[in-house]
Amino acid sequence: MRIQIDEITSVIKQEIGHYREELERSQVGRVIGVGDGVTQIYGLSNVMAGEMIEYVESGAIGQVMNLEENSVGAVVLGDYLKVKEGSEVRGTGNLLSVPVGNAMIGRVVDPLGRAIDGKGEIVTDQRWPLEYTAPGIAERQPVNQPLQTGIKAIDSMIPIGRGQRELIIGDRKTGKTAIAIDTIINQKGSGVICVYVAVGQKESTVATTVERLRESGAMDYTIVVSAASSDAAPLQYIAPYSGCAMAEYFMYTQGKHTLCIYDDLSKQAQAYRQLSLLLRRPPGREAYPGDVFYLHSRLLERSCKLAERRAIVPAGQPYRPGGANGKTYIGVPGKHEAQHDLKNHPGHEVVTDSTSGGSLTALPVIETLEGEVSAYIPTNVISITDGQIYLEPDLFFAGVRPAINVGISVSRVGGNAQIKAMKKIAGSLRLDLAAYRELEAFAQLGTELDAATQRQLDRGARMVELLKQGQYRPYHVIDQVISIFAGSKGFLDDLPISKVADFETKLLKFFHDEHPEIVKELTDKGELTDALDAKLKEYIGAFKGRYVQQTGTKPAAK
């Protein structure tokens, strides 16, 4: 065998040419204990809390949770069975982050942003940290734009606004996820980017949900983050933060409106309790650690409606952060300040930053046990959010679906997040239902009722029937207005209850087919003027006469 001297010489010269005298510094530690997804590491003296670390032999990544005197407590994000005692661990110097961007839309990913839908790898070079500081007061603006759920009972009496945090709470199997999925389906064509975070659910349940979203065309604007019940507790713990980070990217960088659903935070709290006990943190009430309130508050405080940023720039020039004269004006007062300062800057103009003014709406889900809303985690999340939608098992089993208890449910944003037409008719609806609930129990005693009380009972029973709604059938807000208008003005009072749903369906078809100008006027104005009010009464009355004649409906027995 001959040695090729020329070839060896050229390789050596090439290596010498590429040589750079650089030293790579990295923190290295060793695993001194591992079990149940939690590791104790010796040697990483300079790591940060929340820092991402790498287990060299197994290729797994982890997150630092405890900083102790002689060791570091960390959780393994993924399969911890490959991590052995004595394994080498390296600090990365980076906080945990996930891939974000338009490439994520329409995909099903795990909490680390890796595709699990079998459609190939997601290609994006943008990342966003899992933990991100919530915007301050000056960077927010009031919640005043509606986020329509398509559910009549919610949009009329418990309105949700863009940037709000509205809790969905109730026992298992009472329709919590159904409300969340209907809300996502109803965002079609509204420009809202949706993120659905499934925590601790069966993989088959998540697959069914994704298929339903795909059939409705909702996956075109939705990201699904899944941490299944079979996944390790650390993945279930970081899943809501991961989904929030993906939504935040669109809000901060593109000024878009986003919706994030956390289904559900009870299971995330249980996963965090498991990790905390394994890390030997002191247990508190119900064995949850002392910082379990902070677990949810730092997540939900990131939901907001961002104020618009404005600046004074030379006319015709694009906006750059800081503005041409180093001034940026945030929020509604900033508009007036900028206009005032404009007098001192001839040839300049006030420009609004197109990436500002987005929103992140959060719909966290909490599961109660036997209706116990005063338990630790439910009370925590109720105190953080801007209202709650309470689903009652008794109503659900009585056939009232969605099973919303209007008495306990509330939205603290109120009428600011409703179109004016809905706001005008919804007040009487809540009163009708409240009066009905009070009188219903009294009427069961079998006592004779006066005519006024009987009218209230008749009205209430038909309004309850009117607010029933099938799953995956969200209503457009204008259809809701027409439907509730007919009920609150007494047009259904003498119809048999069994005919209410059929009457509503045919009434909406009548308006869309024969009076589209009314639907258009309501859509354009969003307001119920006296003239429109009179027209609606006239047309609904005419339709009712025709309906009774065609169907042979007899007035309900009193």
Which residue has tokens 């974000």? 100
**For position 24, what pLDDT does the model report?**
56
**For position 174, what pLDDT does the model report?**
95
pLDDT in tens, 318-373: 666 655 455 666 766 666 777 777 777 777 777 777 788 899 999 999 999 998 99
DSSP annotation of 231: S
Q: Are 358 and 254 in contact (CB under 8 A)?
A: yes
User: Whole-angstrom Cα distance, residue 83 to residue 29?
Assistant: 13
Burial class (CB in 10 A: 0-12, 13-18, 19+), 4: exposed
**For position 347, what pLDDT does the model report?**
78
Catalytic residue among 412, 437, 462, 546: 412
- Provide the token pair at 172: 């298992």
Residue type, 526: G
Distances (CA, A) of 520 to 36, 307, 324, 421, 479: 60, 31, 44, 13, 11
315: left (phi over 0), alpha (psi -120 to 50) or beta: beta
User: Whole-angstrom Cα distance, residue 452 to residue 403?
Assistant: 28
φ, ψ of residue 150 in degrees (nearest 5): 85, 0
**CB-based contacts of 221, cutoff 8 Å, min separation 6:** 105, 187, 188, 192, 193, 194
Q: Are 38 and 53 in contact (CB under 8 A)?
A: no
pLDDT at 20 > cutoff 70: no
Average pLDDT, the chain: 90
Q: Which residues pair with 261 in a beta bridge?
A: 196, 363
User: Whole-angstrom Cα distance, residue 537 to residue 117?
Assistant: 51
Q: Which of 254, 360, 343 is nearest to 303 (CA)?
A: 360
Helix (H) or strand (E) holding 550: helix 530-551
**For position 344, what pLDDT does the model report?**
76
pLDDT at 160 > cutoff 90: yes
Which residue has tokens 């999340």? 381
Q: Which of 177, 186, 328 is nearest to 261 (CA)?
A: 177
**For position 324, what pLDDT does the model report?**
47
**For position 326, what pLDDT does the model report?**
54
How much of the chain exceeds pLDDT 70, in percent?
Answer: 93
Helix (H) or strand (E) holding 352: strand 348-352
Rg (CA), the chain: 29
pTM score: 0.91
**For position 149, what pLDDT does the model report?**
96
Q: Are 134 and 140 in contact (CB under 8 A)?
A: no
Where is pLDDT greater, at 4 or 123? 123
pLDDT at 317 > cutoff 70: yes
Distances (CA, A) of 412 to 141, 158, 184: 15, 9, 22
**For position 258, what pLDDT does the model report?**
98
Which residue has tokens 């659900």? 396
Residue type, 539: Y
Is 3.40.50.2300 the CATH classification of the domain at 419-551? no
Q: Where are the chain's structural domains?
A: 28-94, 100-304+358-415, 308-352, 419-551
- Provide the token pair at 548: 């009774």
* 437 counts as catalytic: no
Q: What is the DSSP string of 33-102?
A: EEETTEEEEES-TTPPTTEEEEETTT--EEEEEEE-SS-EEEEEES-GGG--TT-EEEEEEEE-EEEESG
DSSP annotation of 489: T
Categorize the per-residue pLDDT at 382 as very low, low, confident or very high, splitting at 50, 70 and 90.
Answer: very high
**For position 98, what pLDDT does the model report?**
96
Q: What's the start-to-end Cα distance of the chain, in Å? A: 110
pLDDT in tens, 84-122: 999 999 999 999 999 999 999 999 999 999 999 999 999
Coil, helix or strand at residue 173 = coil
Alpha helices (H) along 444-529 = 451-466, 477-488, 500-514, 516-525
**For position 448, what pLDDT does the model report?**
73
Distances (CA, A) of 44 to 31, 68, 77, 466: 10, 11, 18, 63
How much of the chain exceeds pLDDT 90, in percent?
Answer: 72
pLDDT at 59 > cutoff 60: yes
User: Whole-angstrom Cα distance, residue 266 to residue 263?
Assistant: 9
Q: Which fold has domain 100-304+358-415?
A: Rossmann fold (3.40.50)
Where is pLDDT greater, at 346 or 82? 82
Which residue has tokens 């965090």? 272
User: Whole-angstrom Cα distance, residue 498 to residue 462?
Assistant: 9
Which whole number is the average pLDDT over 518-522? 94
pLDDT in tens, 22-55: 655 667 899 999 999 999 999 998 899 999 999 9
Q: Which of 67, 62, 60 is nearest to 46 (CA)?
A: 67
**For position 557, what pLDDT does the model report?**
57
Domain 28-94, CATH among 2.40.30.20, 1.20.210.10, 2.40.110.10, 2.30.30.100: 2.40.30.20
